[in-house]
Structure formats: structure tokens, C-alpha cells
Structure 1
């Protein structure tokens, strides 16, 4: 028997129960942070030598030089060619769908000319340019995620990033063919078989062999996350990701086995993952619970799922679907399934979610692999103010300002008045010179 929290929106202490459910202590482990700080400092100081030393120690390798840790384009293509036909076809289709979706995201800047007589000839706008070089961290060894390669590398290439450097640890020399094949399909430029904080440090500071990047993206363990936090500011990072989350809003008409498995799909990530069902039908929630008990013993990762559901999962009864959507907005989940027969009419009710899966046939797992939208999503309620990874994360925007002689007189007077009000006379005089000319 599995114990999952069950409560109702009509409970007098509902808010307290929901707050307790959502509370997550993401404080960093001090010992991890100290270790990471030391590794980063050493990589910054000694470069390749330190990277090789830590890689040999942590991944149990015997590399003598960085050339032994860099893969050639031929090796990536060989990995692609080695895949079974069904795996290659699936990977290629997923890559195509991810690329097509991201190609629809805006790539161009804009500008406009002022039309009034006193500003004629003045142009304002925005120039969008891709980042020059990006680092992609990919987990390696048995925890291999080719989908992460596609989701991080393809939007970077669509954005026009000139050079994409991938790092992936290979414990005991174990190289995952799917990951390398995904790199080949995604247009990754260079691949280094290094991981951990030392790989993040190499990307952030640059070494004799690994070029310094402008931004680091991609998931990793606690040491990688700590390293990304520490190098932020030297380089950009994508986000500080928390545990995986799914919230299913259901009308009580979906097959309960489907919903149970959808809850499992996130719970199997790790013990801190969160899976929540919200439904106005208490009898249906009973059926989902019965499906959970029936299906859990069939799951290879059942102990991880069990722990996640017992510690951070919940089955919540609500008054109606309107209230369910309001609670969804309060939670702001990473993944939100609207498992509702007429789901389209409820989408406008949702304002906070990383990704919205519309209708009972749209399982979250499709979004993870091949639907097309990015699976790198905001977690821990950050969907209230942040967005999925996209082309825009690999671009930077510059404001364009060209002021005509006429415009300088009109705007200069305004700027001068405001600058004097702020006590910045040089600013005011700089504007006044153009007015007086």
C-alpha cells in the first residue's frame, strides 16, 4: 500500500496544506559548494592540467592530454551510423520536429522612424544578434539523455550561435552512442568527454584547449548546478532547475490508468520530483489511487516513484474546474496536463505553467521527446516569471537609437531638464550642446 496525501479545497486549512506541499528546501549543500569552489579555482589557475586531473579522478580515466578527451566529427557520425534503424529514425524525427518548432520563434530585430516634424529623421529599434559561443552540459554514463542534446543544441543553432561546445562525462570510458548521435544531428561543433564542476569551469574560464563560452546550458547533478551558480556573471546560464514536476487537472473522464502513469512519468525522475492530481470528482480520485496501487509494482523504478509520491505527491479534490485552474496558477507547475474532454476552452484560464498539455491524449512524455516545444522548463513555481528555453535564450538584444539634428533639439531639452533634476550636470550639458548647435 502506498500513502499519498489527499485533501480538499474545502478543508479549512487547505492553504496551509497546499503551501506545505509546495515547500521545497533547495538550499545548497555547503560541503558540495566548498568542493566546487576549490575545483573552479583550480581550473581557472591551471587550465587543461586541472581538467585532466579531475576527469581522471572522478571518471576513472587515464588521459594524458586533452586531445584524448575530445571527439572528432567522424566519431560523432560513426555513433549515428551505429544506431539501430528504429532508434535513428526516432532521433531524426524528434530533431526535425524540435528544429521546425524553434524556427518559428522570432529571429529578427525591428526599427521605426519618428514621423512628427520635430523628431523627423530619428530612428529607434532593436538589433538581435546570436551569442558567439555556447557551452552545453550533458549528463553522461548510464544517465544519458539524448533528448537534452536536441533541446539545448537545436535552438542554439537556429538562433545562429557560431560555435557550440558540448561537454559530457564518460565514466570508465563509457560513451553513449545515442547522445553522440544527437550531437551529430544537432550540429554540435566540438565535444569534450569531461564533466562535473571541472567541465563547467573549463567552459566558463577557458583553458588552453577548451574555449571560453558566453553561456552554459544543460542539466547536471548537484556539483554541476553549484558550479553553474558560481560562474554566473562570468558567463550566462540557462536557469537553476529544481526537481521535476507534473500537475494533472482532470475532469474525471480520462482512463485512470493513463493519469496514474502520467504521475509516474515525473515521479520516476528522482525522489524529490512532484506529481499532483487535481480533480472535482472524489470518486474518480479513488479510481486513480487504485490504478497507482495496481501499476506501481510493474515499474522498474518503483521505489523512486513510491518515495516521490509519498513525500511530495498529492491527490486534491476541488469544487470545479475553474477552481482547479486557479490552483494550477497558484502552483505554476513545470508540466501542466489539462486532461479534460473539452480542454481547449480551459487554456485561457491558465497563466502560470512551463508547458501546457491540452487534452487527454497529450501525455507529458511526448513533450519530453518529440512534440517539438522545448522540454527545458521553469520549475519550483518560477513559471510565474520565466519561460521555456528557446531561441531567445541564445540571442542578445541591442537597442538602436539614431537621433536627427531636429530630434536632438527636441529630446535634448527633455533630457537636460531630467538630468538637472537628478543632479547630473554633465548629462544635462551633453544634451544642451546639441540643442545650442
Structure 2
């Protein structure tokens, strides 16, 4: 029995160690030379990742901005002020990368919001060359007007992209999807939520969901919801009449993250508490809300819900206390935040962006103590998030091994 107790205590210690199996890898920092010049990076924003390809907006000490990617040890310029727009002699404006940053990596395509002198919209890089995903040289499918892509928010997967845009002349907003070479309307102000007569007036967020598209929208009378468009038909995922497990109405849904047969989203309740929820076939469950106490004791409550992503049954989000958390393995854990140390340096800020998790690896950027306009000290890191159940498999193996040893 004594030997068993010792073995179990060792096993418990192993379980505690497995609670935070984080492996951080530095991608670039402010000592890394910018590939298009002789300067080093001074800052980063909108970091996204897919299958080891990290995309980001970077700036240098001459205040030049560009879109870059990093694969392994290779960092490349995707677009900067010296890059031509596809099929054009115009150059990209670096001001757009600063004022309206937005990029994603999905299905092998790195997409970003950019503009030149007369053109502007979303552009993609397939790993070899640039192409136009949508800009004002394309026509709206429902009116024949030129597209005006009015927000950098988008979601890409290969040759498919969903985006927000309006007509160049009428300025009527809508959500559109490019599917191969065909454009289709997902939702606009002429459409109504299922079961309601009033039409949409505001569009908040949109994501690809395989052949379907999910989006958050509201009407002028305050009815809001998350909807799925597939085959020209709209269905409700949830709306502001639904309640959370505490009985509060989910009055203001915000961002949507499709999750296989389920849907993850954040919303404000009718008593103004923000939480992250998952809609399953059996109802709506709460994953976390801003009034809960974080597991690391860094603050009394999370203090708010920031950017979030959900892949591979795992949530990653940035809380109002500036810490990035994950519910890996079903338990909320601190990932990185102010006060932590990376490569011997103290982190004073960590930033997670909406396309910063691909299901196995999260990417984020940090500012270290001592950073100033005279000496920038910032970096982009990735961290491996093991597949859910990995820790359990290790522990199960240990238990089986223990059982075999005891039977000898």
C-alpha cells in the first residue's frame, strides 16, 4: 500500500505538471531584420496562423508598414509600399496596413485588407503569388454596383472568403461570399431574420462554416441573433430571445465561431454581463463570463471578454485583465499575460487576435518590460496547445503501467 500511495502521489504531481504543457516558440522580435530593408521591426499587429504559417502586420523604425509571413526560419514580405497590387501598376498604401489592419490564413491562403491609389479590398497570397479576392473592380451580385469593401473583417479558406461590403453608389451594407469565381449575397438590408418581418440593419461578424456561412446581425428594433446561410436559406442558430443557463436573456450576441455541429459565440445578457457560450443540439451552455474569478488569481474577476477563437474543442480568449486564457482539457488555464516571463524577459502586455488559433497552435504578440520609443522590445510567439485528451492519455498510460508493475 505504501508503494501505491507513493506512486499515486507521483502521478498527481505529473497531472499538475500536465495542467500547463505550454511550449513557446519565438517567431520574430524587434531584433529581427525586416526582409524588405535594412531596418528591424518595431511593432506587430493582427497575428494569424495556420499549419505553421504565421501572418502579421509589421512596422519598422522608419514607420513603414507591411504584411509579412513566417514559415519555419523564413520570413517574407507579402505586401508593402513597394509591392504592386495584383494586375496593376499601383503600389499598396502602407497607411491602410496601419489604420485598417486585418489578415487571416485559411486553406493555404493568406488574406489581408489593402489599398492602392484607386483600388482597395481584400487580397490573397497562396504561398507563391498575390491575387485579388475582392475589391472595387468587382460587381455586387445583386445590384451590379462596384464593391466597396468597408471593413477589414473577413474569413478565408482557400478560394472562399466571406466579407462585409457595400455598394459604391448606394452605400447599402451587406455580407457577401466569394465561392471560387462566383459572388453571392449572404445577407443585406433587404432580408429579414427567420420568423420576423423587419429587415436587417446592422451586421456584426461573419465566418465560413464549410459550405455554410454564419453571421451575427440585428434589426432596427433591437432583435439580434446569429444565423446560418446555406443554399440561399437562412436559419436561426440563436437570437436575443434565448436565455443563458442562469435565465438571463442573451440580448446582444457579438462574435460567432462555428465549431462543427456546435456554435461558440460571445454575448451580453439583459443585465449587461458578457460571456462566452456554446450552442449545441441540446441547448446553450456557458463556457465563461466576465464576473467569474480567473484560475490564476491575477484579478478578482476576468473583467471583460476580449478577442476569442474556438478550434478543435478548445477555447482561447483574452480577458479584460489582459491575460490570455484557454479551457484546454476542460479546465480554464492561464496561457500568457502581464507578469509572465518569456526568454528571461518580463511580459507587460500580450495580445491575441481573432485568427490567432488553428486548433493546435496559438500565435500572439507581446511587449516586454523596458519597451519604449527609444528601444522597442516586442515579439511574436506561438504556443502549442495539445489536442484535448492528450494529458488524459498520458495519465491513463501511467496508470496502466503502474498496474502492470504491481502485478509482477
Q: Tell me which interval the TM-score lies in, with the shorter structure as reference length.
A: under 0.3
TM (normalized to structure 2)? Answer: 0.24
Larger Cα-atom Rg: 1
Q: Which has the higher helix share?
A: 1
TM (normalized to structure 1)? Answer: 0.23
